């Protein structure tokens, strides 16, 4: 009888150790090592009929390359985050919190791909439960097949018979391989199952979607092990108390990593939001202070977002600084600039900043809008609703130029804004005659405040 081999794996980062250790040397976490039984042997989990023998090195000039056509899905938001469609032979990992809508999104995609044979493999739900969700989505499809199975060996047998053109796995943590004796969901099982699916995707040219769970810290379970193996990582985000969801790219070998797609969750599934400003600009009956509109970019998509500020006297001695959706360190920097260069005393004030719509932004072009919003709340002065801003603020209080200013201006013009404040250094490459919106060029924050604040 062969000796059973075991090893210890960190459940946080996937590091391996021959013995138990209290603190992981790779990620620094404590008490994360768990013993898992491993079995190393020759395995044939996926046998491709076109499998090649041992490869020999080839000169780069000898390698021929043909442009493969991407699979364009009816879901425009998914096409955007993938870089223009599904790449044949790619493996895509989708992560998100429980109940956020990962399974609904992928089942909806499977049903909409009516011209492509799709195999949806579920290890978490029964066929009847998937059928109930499909009827709720109400998207007829004659090319979607459902398989409820967790063994990778059985899955590959069905794949050889069905020959699907797209494979969806829900979820990778529920699969288990017979070549690894540890429990499903463990680091070694997740790594082995992903490796088998990766080999299948590359040899057959079939795109594979993996749904992955996340840990309580918000990272993908089995984390960096999976992220390094797959081609694309998509993060499905959103507040469960709100109906909007954001699909964000964090890694993409075939496209940009700064794209995002926006959906609205409803009883009939996920609806694409083609005009994100409808959720990022709130509707109000009356004008209030502390509200400013900033023009930002997410990938190739221009967005106008609402920045809300509340500045009030600190009643508990130590002023509070709180920001939602905006970098708190950058907020502190902008407050220091306003205090030093603008003479405004925020040291004894509580400051609260919120990005409407639940979006998280990192674009420095929102600096001017944030500063105007803070000053508006500080002086209780209302900013006219037809004004927006696009400019980065330097430590000296100067307004610096931002990239792709034409797209920001065009988006503001399309949404009906009459005025936009930009850096005068952006005017060198602009033709004002192209736009009907009035362009205000400014060099310092003081010029902005003098022009717009109304008491």
> What pLDDT, on a 0 to 100 scale, did the predictor assign at position 156?
94
Instruction: Kindly state the average pLDDT of the residues 111-122.
Output: 92
CA–CA distance from 131 to each of 123, 146, 269 (Å)? 15, 9, 14
| pLDDT(441) > 90 | yes
Using the predicted structure, report yes or no on whether residue 455 has a pLDDT greater than 50: no
Query: What is the SS3 assignment for 177?
Result: coil
Q: What residue spans of 380-422 are helical by DSSP H? A: 405-414
pLDDT confidence of residue 88: 92
Domain total in the chain: 3
pLDDT value of residue 32: 82
Same domain, yes or no: 266 and 386: no
Neighbour-count burial for 280-292, b at 16+ CB within 10 Å, e otherwise: bbeeeeeeebbbb
Work out the pLDDT band at 1, boundaries 50, 70, 90: very low
Asked whether residue 18 falls in the same domain as residue 88, the answer is no
Question: Cβ distance 363 to 394 under 8 Å?
Answer: no
Question: What are residue 12's phi and psi, to 5 degrees?
Answer: -95, -45
> What integer is the mean pLDDT of 430-438?
87
List, in order, residues 6 or more apart from 347 with CB less than 8 Å away.
Answer: 319, 339
**Quick check: helix, strand or coil at residue 392?**
strand
Domain co-membership, 78 together with 183: yes
Residue 106 in any domain: the answer is yes
In this prediction, residue 228 carries a pLDDT of 84
CATH of the domain at 207: 3.40.50.300
Residues 136 and 98 in one domain: yes
Enumerate the known binding-site residues for ATP: 96-103
Structure confidence by residue, pLDDT tens digits, 363-384? 999 999 999 999 999 999 999 8
Residues 208 and 84 occupy one common structural domain:
yes
Residue 126 has pLDDT above 80, yes or no: yes
pTM flag (> 0.85): no
Same domain assignment for residues 96 and 232: yes
Residue 53 lies in a domain: no
Strands 244-252 and 260-266: antiparallel
pLDDT > 90 in the chain, percent = 45
User: Taking the C-alpha atoms of 236, 239, 244 and 246 in order, what is their torsion angle to the nearest 10 degrees?
Assistant: -30
- Least Cα distance to 167 among 182, 183, 156 occurs for 156
417 shares a domain with 390? yes
Is 194 in the same domain as 235? yes
| Higher pLDDT among residues 300 and 117, named by residue | 117
DSSP 403: S
Which stretch of DSSP H or E encloses residue 79? helix 76-82
Out of 274, 305, 329, pick the residue that ends a domain.
274
Q: Look at residue 374 and tell me if it is in a domain.
A: yes
Whether 28 and 140 share a structural domain: no
pLDDT at 335 over 80: yes
Range of the domain at 409: 279-452
pLDDT, residue 61, reads 84
CATH number, domain containing residue 375: 3.30.230.10
Total length of the chain: 455
Name the domain boundary from 243, 274, 305. 274
Report the alpha-carbon distance of residue 91 to residue 71 in Å, rounded. 13
149/33 same-domain check: no
d(CA 254, CA 347): 47
The string of pLDDT tens digits covering residues 228-281 is 889 999 999 877 667 788 898 889 998 888 788 889 888 888 998 887 776 777
296, part of any domain: yes
Mean pLDDT of 317-327: 89
Residue 51 pLDDT: 46
Residue 175 in domain: yes
pLDDT level of residue 53 (50, 70, 90 thresholds): low
Contact between 389 and 292 (Cβ < 8 Å): yes
DSSP 133-168: HHHHHT---SSEEEEE--BHHHHHHHHHHH--SEEE
Last residue of a domain, one of 274, 301, 324: 274
Q: Answer yes or no: is 193 within a domain.
A: yes
Q: Pick out the residues of the known binding site.
A: 96-103
Based on the domain organization, do 268 and 166 belong to the same domain? yes
Q: Would residue 60 count as lying in a domain?
A: no
User: Whose CA is closest to 396, among 328, 445, 449?
Assistant: 445
Angle at CA of residue 253, ends 250 and 255, nearest 5°: 75
| pLDDT (0 to 100) of residue 186 | 78
Residue 332 has pLDDT above 80, yes or no: yes
Helix axes 328-342, 445-452, angle to 10 degrees: 80
Helix axes 328-342, 367-379, angle to 10 degrees: 60
User: Does residue 43 lie within any of the structural domains?
Assistant: no
Burial class (CB in 10 A: 0-12, 13-18, 19+), 141: middle
More confident residue, 221 or 173: 173
303 and 441 in a single domain? The answer is yes
């Amino acid at each position: 009888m062969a000796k059973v081999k075991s090893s210890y794996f960190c459940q946080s980062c996937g590091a391996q150790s021959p013995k138990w250790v209290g603190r992981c040397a790779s990620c620094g976490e404590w008490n994360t090592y768990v013993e898992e039984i491993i079995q190393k042997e020759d395995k044939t989990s996926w046998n491709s009929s076109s499998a090649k023998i041992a490869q020999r090195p080839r000169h780069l000039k000898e390698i021929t390359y043909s442009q493969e056509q991407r699979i364009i899905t009816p879901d425009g938001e998914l096409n955007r985050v993938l870089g223009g469609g599904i790449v044949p032979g790619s493996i895509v990992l989708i992560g998100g919190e429980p109940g956020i809508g990962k399974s609904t999104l992928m089942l909806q995609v499977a049903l909409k791909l009516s011209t492509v044979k799709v195999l949806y493999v579920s290890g978490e739900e029964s066929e009847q439960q998937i059928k109930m969700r499909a009827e709720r989505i109400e998207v007829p499809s004659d090319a979607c097949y459902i398989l409820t199975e967790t063994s990778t060996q059985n899955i590959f047998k069905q794949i050889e018979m069905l020959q699907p053109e797209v494979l969806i796995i829900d979820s990778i943590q529920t699969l288990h391989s017979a070549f690894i004796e540890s429990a499903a969901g463990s680091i070694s099982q997740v790594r082995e199952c992903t490796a088998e699916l990766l080999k299948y995707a590359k040899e057959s040219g079939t795109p594979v979607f993996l749904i992955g769970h996340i840990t309580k810290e918000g990272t993908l379970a089995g984390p960096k092990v999976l992220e390094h193996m797959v081609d694309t990582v998509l993060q499905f985000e959103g507040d469960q108390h709100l109906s909007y969801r954001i699909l964000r790219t964090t890694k993409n070998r075939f496209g940009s990593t700064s794209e995002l797609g926006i959906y609205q969750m409803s009883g009939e599934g996920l609806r694409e939001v083609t005009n994100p400003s409808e959720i990022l600009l709130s509707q109000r009956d009356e004008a209030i202070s502390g509200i400013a509109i900033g023009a930002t970019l997410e990938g190739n998509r221009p967005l106008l977002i609402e920045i809300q500020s509340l500045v009030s006297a600190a009643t508990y001695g130590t002023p509070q600084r709180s920001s939602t959706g905006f970098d708190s360190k950058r907020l502190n920097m902008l407050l220091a600039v306003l205090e030093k260069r603008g003479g405004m005393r925020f040291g004894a004030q509580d400051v609260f900043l919120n990005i409407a719509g639940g979006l998280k932004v990192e674009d420095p072009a929102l600096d001017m809008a944030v500063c105007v919003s803070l000053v508006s709340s500080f002086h209780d002065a209302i900013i006219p609703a037809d004004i927006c801003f696009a400019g980065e603020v330097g430590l000296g209080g100067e307004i610096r130029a931002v990239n792709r200013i034409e797209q920001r201006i065009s988006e503001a013009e399309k949404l009906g804004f009459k005025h936009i404040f930009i850096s005068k250094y952006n005017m060198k490459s602009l033709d004002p005659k192209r736009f009907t919106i009035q362009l205000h060029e400014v060099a310092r924050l003081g010029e902005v405040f003098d022009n717009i604040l109304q008491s």
